[in-house]
């Protein structure tokens, strides 16, 4: 599989460090509010990657943190504490806010068919890990104490920027006007590992540490949690593109300085979902959530399809017109699948299976080209083969794409049958039976023949039903049938 690596700026053949396991780490949500559909774009695309690796035969262990402490409104250690902001807004405690929005996040994930990672770890549960790492960084001269906080010293690294090219003079403190600077920092990009001098009077969560009572910085969480569950190396680290700098850059700086060796091989960054007027926001304009889409009548999986129709390394623009197009596509696709015969018991067409699998894998092996993988679903439907094979292929590919294809098609079939039954009822003649549409049709035809006083035809139909082992009883307004 060719997978783009943000750290090397190239597509590379994916080879895990260990043959028996792929170690995958994902930056989890900051649980101070609902996730917006932009956040969820990142998680959908990461979910496809995880599921495709499993489909391709890898054993995957995926770990995700829940950021419930340390994330300030500016990623560079300035601004408000996001969790405190949420607690103030809702007059609740930080832990109540964290629990509520963690549950809301996973409820959204479930609606979007995003698998829960194998390990989900709230950041507040691993304080000892961070203290261990920070202590060693201080001992080894990679960190310093200033004004009561512990900072990572970026000048100790021969290479700090990994994902983007920045000018070295940007490293000097206070070069940009109008930006609040922390004057304790020796270098502009130094970052806080541990806060003891909080500017937040009512900082709710704090722990004892060798440097005083305080709380960890945001970046150290991901290094600590990743190493706790995945050890000293990592195959793939994921996140949205805004995490590349400073968050992931700082994760690499502190992890590799702590370990004394290279840490993570692949960095997968998902480009942003934007609105036509720019960045997606939780506070300005319409707050786009999964629930809002549902209120407006969209199945969340239509949004998943919308995401899969474009490549994860391209910015995606959200508009209701664009989502409507995905909705139409989704409904047509489901209708086509619903028209296949689920009772077809034909043998699997091995040649078709091989050809279709090759196409599907070809798409996803090319840096997760999900739009092409979606096109393969249409190729399955068009393929000259039996329905059993088509349904088996659609179900198999959907273990990766997660579009709920079989489930929604089954539901559509059931809804259509119900509508047909209701239509019969509204025509004044109700057929009640044991759930077999072809028998319902014969019974209805017999009823109509009787109504038209065509008794010969009505008797013929009764005999035909009898020959099939069906007994019909006339009741007011229709007929009831059962198998004898």
Is 6 one of the binding residues for ligand AMP (CB under 6 A)? no
Is 242 one of the binding residues for ligand AMP (CB under 6 A)? yes
* Contacting range for ligand AMP; rule: CB under 6 A; set: 22-30, 161-169, 199-207, 352-360: 22-30
Give the one entry of Zn ion, ligand AMP, none that residue 273 binds, where binding means its C-beta sits below a cut-off of 5 to 8 angstroms depending on kind: ligand AMP
| Rounded CA separation 44/51 (Å) | 10
Smallest CA-to-CA distance from 192 within 144, 133, 264 is with 144
Give the one entry of ligand AMP, Zn ion, none that residue 113 binds, where binding means its C-beta sits below a cut-off of 5 to 8 angstroms depending on kind: none
* Contacting range for ligand AMP; rule: CB under 6 A; set: 37-45, 52-60, 198-206, 379-387: 37-45
**C-beta closer to ligand AMP: residue 101 or 144:** 101
Number of residues that bind ligand AMP (CB under 6 A): 16
> In whole angstroms, how close is the CB of 251 to Zn ion at the nearest point?
6
Cβ contact 6:161 at 8 Å: no
Q: Which residue's CB atom is positioned nearest to ligand AMP?
A: 240
| Rounded CA separation 339/348 (Å) | 19
Is 66 one of the binding residues for Zn ion (CB under 5 A)? no
Give the one entry of Zn ion, ligand AMP, none that residue 222 binds, where binding means its C-beta sits below a cut-off of 5 to 8 angstroms depending on kind: Zn ion
Cβ contact 301:113 at 8 Å: yes
**C-beta closer to ligand AMP: residue 137 or 323:** 323
Smallest CA-to-CA distance from 268 within 473, 106, 26, 22 is with 26
> In whole angstroms, how close is the CB of 42 to ligand AMP at the nearest point?
4
- Residue 26's SS3 state is strand
Is 408 one of the binding residues for ligand AMP (CB under 6 A)? no
Query: What are the residues facing 366 on neighbouring strands?
Result: 2
* φ, ψ at 255 (rounded to 5°): -65, -45
Give the chain's count of helices (H) and strands (E).
15, 17
Is 188 one of the binding residues for ligand AMP (CB under 6 A)? no
Smallest CA-to-CA distance from 222 within 63, 41, 49, 18 is with 63
Cβ contact 188:269 at 8 Å: no
Give the one entry of ligand AMP, Zn ion, none that residue 38 binds, where binding means its C-beta sits below a cut-off of 5 to 8 angstroms depending on kind: ligand AMP
Cβ contact 327:294 at 8 Å: no
Is 273 one of the binding residues for ligand AMP (CB under 6 A)? yes
Query: What are the residues facing 22 on neighbouring strands?
Result: 60
**C-beta closer to ligand AMP: residue 31 or 405:** 31
Element (H, E) at 63: strand 60-66
| Rounded CA separation 482/475 (Å) | 13
Is 29 one of the binding residues for ligand AMP (CB under 6 A)? yes
Read off the tokens for 227.
Answer: 């190493």
| Rounded CA separation 185/203 (Å) | 22
Q: Which of 272, 304, 336, 361 binds ligand AMP (CB under 6 A)?
A: 272
Contact track, ligand AMP, 59-98, x by CB under 6 A: --------x-------------------------------
> In whole angstroms, how close is the CB of 11 to Zn ion at the nearest point?
24
Is 237 one of the binding residues for ligand AMP (CB under 6 A)? no
What percent of the chain is helix, strand and coil (3-state, nearest 5)? 45, 20, 35
Is 222 one of the binding residues for Zn ion (CB under 5 A)? yes
Which residue pairs from 142-145 have beta carbons closer than 8 angstroms and sit at least 24 positions apart in sequence? 142/254, 142/257, 142/258, 143/193, 144/186, 145/211
**C-beta closer to Zn ion: residue 27 or 131:** 27
274-303: contacts with Zn ion (CB under 5 A): none
**C-beta closer to ligand AMP: residue 27 or 53:** 27
- Token look-up 């990672």 returns 117
Q: Which of 70, 86, 240, 300 binds ligand AMP (CB under 6 A)?
A: 240
Is 31 one of the binding residues for Zn ion (CB under 5 A)? no
Is 300 one of the binding residues for ligand AMP (CB under 6 A)? no
Cβ contact 422:445 at 8 Å: no
**C-beta closer to ligand AMP: residue 34 or 211:** 34
Is 27 one of the binding residues for Zn ion (CB under 5 A)? yes
| Rounded CA separation 83/86 (Å) | 5
Q: What is the DSSP letter of 373?
A: H
Is 304 one of the binding residues for ligand AMP (CB under 6 A)? no
Cβ contact 235:16 at 8 Å: yes
* Contacting range for ligand AMP; rule: CB under 6 A; set: 116-124, 175-183, 270-278, 421-429: 270-278
> In whole angstroms, how close is the CB of 150 to ligand AMP at the nearest point?
22
- Token look-up 């910085």 returns 217
Is 280 one of the binding residues for ligand AMP (CB under 6 A)? yes
> In whole angstroms, how close is the CB of 244 to Zn ion at the nearest point?
11
Name the site residues for ligand AMP (rule: CB under 6 A). Answer: 27, 29-30, 38-39, 41-42, 67, 239-240, 242-243, 270, 272-273, 280
Residues of this chain that interact with Zn ion (CB under 5 A) are 27, 222
């Amino acid at each position: 599989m060719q997978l783009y690596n943000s750290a090397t700026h190239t597509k590379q053949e994916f080879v895990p460090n260990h043959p028996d396991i792929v170690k995958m780490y994902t930056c989890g949500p900051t649980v101070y509010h609902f996730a917006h559909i932009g956040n969820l774009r990142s998680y959908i695309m990461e979910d496809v990657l995880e599921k495709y690796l499993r489909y391709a035969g890898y054993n995957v262990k995926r770990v995700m943190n829940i950021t419930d402490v340390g994330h300030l409104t500016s990623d560079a250690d300035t601004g408000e504490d996001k969790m405190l902001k949420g607690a103030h807004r809702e007059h609740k405690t930080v832990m109540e806010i964290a629990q509520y929005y963690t549950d809301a996040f996973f409820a959204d994930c479930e609606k979007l068919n995003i698998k829960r990672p194998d390990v989900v770890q709230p950041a507040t549960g691993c304080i000892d890990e961070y203290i261990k790492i920070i202590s060693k960084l201080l001992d080894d001269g990679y960190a310093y104490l200033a004004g009561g906080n512990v900072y990572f010293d970026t000048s100790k690294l021969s290479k700090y920027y990994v994902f983007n090219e920045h000018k070295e003079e940007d490293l000097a403190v206070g070069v940009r006007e109008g930006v609040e600077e922390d004057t304790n920092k020796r270098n502009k990009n130094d970052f806080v590992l541990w806060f003891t001098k909080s500017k937040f009077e009512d900082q709710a969560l704090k722990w004892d540490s060798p440097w005083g009572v305080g709380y960890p910085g945001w970046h150290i969480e991901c290094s600590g949690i990743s190493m706790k569950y995945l050890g000293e190396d990592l195959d793939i680290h994921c996140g949205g593109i805004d995490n590349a700098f400073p968050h992931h850059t700082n994760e690499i700086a502190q992890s590799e300085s702590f370990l004394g060796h290279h840490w993570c091989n692949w960095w997968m960054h998902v480009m942003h979902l934007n609105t036509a007027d720019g960045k997606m926001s939780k506070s300005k304009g319409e707050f786009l959530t999964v629930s809002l889409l549902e209120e407006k009548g969209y199945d969340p999986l239509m949004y998943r399809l919308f995401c899969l129709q474009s490549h994860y390394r391209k910015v995606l623009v959200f508009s209701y017109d664009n989502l409507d197009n995905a909705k139409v596509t989704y409904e047509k696709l489901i209708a086509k699948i619903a028209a296949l015969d689920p009772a077809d018991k034909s043998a699997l067409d091995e040649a078709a299976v091989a050809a279709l699998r090759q196409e599907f894998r070809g798409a996803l092996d090319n840096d997760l080209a999900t739009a092409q993988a979606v096109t393969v679903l249409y190729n399955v439907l068009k393929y000259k083969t039996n329905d059993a094979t088509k349904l088996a292929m659609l179900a198999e590919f959907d273990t990766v794409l997660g579009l709920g294809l079989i489930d929604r098609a089954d539901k559509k079939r059931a809804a259509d049958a119900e509508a047909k039954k209701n239509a019969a009822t509204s025509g004044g003649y109700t057929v009640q039976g044991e759930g077999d549409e072809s028998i319902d049709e014969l019974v209805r035809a017999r009823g109509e023949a009787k109504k038209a006083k065509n008794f010969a035809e009505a008797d013929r139909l009764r005999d035909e039903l009898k020959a099939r082992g069906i007994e019909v009883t006339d009741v007011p307004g229709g007929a009831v049938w059962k198998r004898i």
